[in-house]
Copies of this chain bind each other. A is one copy, B any other.
Amino acid sequence: MLAVTILGNNSALPAFDRHPTAQVVTLDEFLFLVDCGEGTQMQMAKYKIRRSKIQHIFISHLHGDHYFGLIGLITSMGLLGREQDLHLFAPAALHDIIQLQLKVADTHLPYPLHFHALEEKSLLVENDRFRVTCFPTSHRIPCWGFRFEQVKAPRRLLPEKAREHGIPAIFYDRLKWGENYQSKDGTLIQNDWVTEAAPRGKSYAYSADTCYDERLVPHINGVDLLYHEATYLKDLADRAANRFHCTTHQAATIALMGNVGRLLIGHFSSKYEKLDLFEQEAKEVFGNSQLAIEGVSYRV
């Protein structure tokens, strides 16, 4: 299962009860927090996101609307007695800010906070369940997007077929990982006679703040769901470019070029109270487009 829940869909200035950027990605039993604007911990309470289940936080860049809520969240996790590890992936300078804020408060977190600088490598986490990578976007300051992929699950064993071919149970695990079996009499049992392919792993890309930049396309290529910012409607392409942001049409063009399954747009400018034109314009270019609405979970 892969889904993304929107906690904040607005750009820098909170407005019309829309909040700065934050999202929770749910991948099976794992929760990832992506960006953490001011008020994220309150939004998590409102939408019943369990803070304790989050082990990985990803911060795209150091504009405040993407991280001012982080120090409050990690402090609250401490006040709630958290003991499990927390991994924070963010631009290196955030480490200094957090350490300074903990120091002046004389606060010692009761859990290990592991800081990983995004500048160091693009493969952030990889295990047998998921893989998270980052990629640079084009913004006024260094900024990264993130790609979340379910790792291709092992093949599904067909136990009756395996028994038919006389394969011992001890070999079943290796069958799941695609091996063929050579029986004692020399017969080769092809793996796909006794297993079937697992469903394909799902993928989600969060492209953070960016101006229109086709160099993003290979990084988001083929994902099932893409979140791309669309700060402005299409008539404000100049303003978007000046501020290193995108319009609806630009976001949808990237989705189209990247051959993604579905597009979510967000990071709406606080100059817009109503959002319906955003969806309409994005759909003009890429039909499977939707607005990122706070409190809504989009399942891949």
Q: Hey, which bits of chain A sit against chain B, CB under 8 A?
A: 12-15, 19, 38-39, 41-42, 45, 62-64, 68-69, 71-72, 75-76, 79-80, 91, 93-94, 96-97, 100-101, 104-107, 140-141
A100, B96: Cβ atoms closer than 8 Å: yes
Q: Which residues of B contact A141 (CB under 8 A)?
A: 104-106
B68, A64: Cβ atoms closer than 8 Å: no
Which of B14, B96, B104 contacts A62, CB < 8 Å? B104
How far is A104 from B107 in the complex, measured between Cα atoms in Å? 23
How far is A62 from B101 in the complex, measured between Cα atoms in Å? 8
Measured CB to CB, the closest approach of chain B to A221, in angstroms, equals: 30
Measured CB to CB, the closest approach of chain B to A126, in angstroms, equals: 28
Q: Which residues of B contact A41 (CB under 8 A)?
A: 14, 38
Chain B residue nearest to A73 (CB atoms) is B38
Other A-B contacts than A12-B79, A63-B105, 10 sampled, CB-CB below 8 A, are: A12-B75, A13-B80, A15-B45, A62-B105, A64-B72, A68-B72, A96-B100, A97-B97, A97-B101, A104-B141
How far is A12 from B76 in the complex, measured between Cα atoms in Å? 8
Measured CB to CB, the closest approach of chain B to A50, in angstroms, equals: 15
How far is A41 from B39 in the complex, measured between Cα atoms in Å? 10
How far is A105 from B42 in the complex, measured between Cα atoms in Å? 24
Q: Which residues of B contact A106 (CB under 8 A)?
A: 140-141
Q: Which residues of B contact A13 (CB under 8 A)?
A: 76, 79-80
Residue of A15, A64, A91 ringed by the most chain B CB atoms within 10 A: A64
How far is A63 from B103 in the complex, measured between Cα atoms in Å? 10
